[in-house]
Amino acid sequence: KAIESIENRKQELHINFSDTEYHKILTCDEIVISNVRFERNLDFEGEARDLEISIEPEYGISEQPQDRISRLRLRFSAGEEGSDDFPFYCNMEVIGVFSWDGWDDEEAEKLVSSQGMQLVMSFVRSKFYSLQKDAGLDPVVLPSMEFEA
């Protein structure tokens, strides 16, 4: 499928402040793969050089402020297209849709850019691992990463 929707990936991040009476919520409403391409290099022999990884996030917010919805698009690639130095090339674009309550837009952007990025990247790590396994390769495990706003 070109687009894969993850229904049970809906997660909420509840943040309570002891010095206020606000209950603030950031929710990941959906994570979808909008594009994925994986090519195994059947001619590859020998040792792979260090895997080149690219992660490009793009944050966008609804033009309607009352919506309180934003999108985090993550473009991920590993390896080098057409290169004989790697056993594979992977390129994927994953989109996380987030909503919030109790945050202003600037606070929500910071949270989505850090916490949301970690959530979307954990999905990418899992999918990347599965793609390699499905291609009959010994998978490269991407480490957990911390993202700051």
Q: What does the pLDDT look like over 4-19, one tens digit per residue? A: 333 334 455 444 443 4
Q: What is the pTM of this model?
A: 0.79
26/33 Cα distance (integer angstroms): 21
pLDDT, tens digit, 9 for 90 and up, residues 44-84? 887 767 888 999 999 998 888 778 889 999 999 999 888 88
- What does DSSP say about strands 11-16 and 23-40: parallel, antiparallel, or unpaired? antiparallel
CA max distance for the chain:
62
Closest alpha carbon to 31 in 111, 101, 97: 97
pLDDT, tens digit, 9 for 90 and up, residues 125-135? 999 999 999 99
32/57 Cα distance (integer angstroms): 14
42/45 Cα distance (integer angstroms): 8
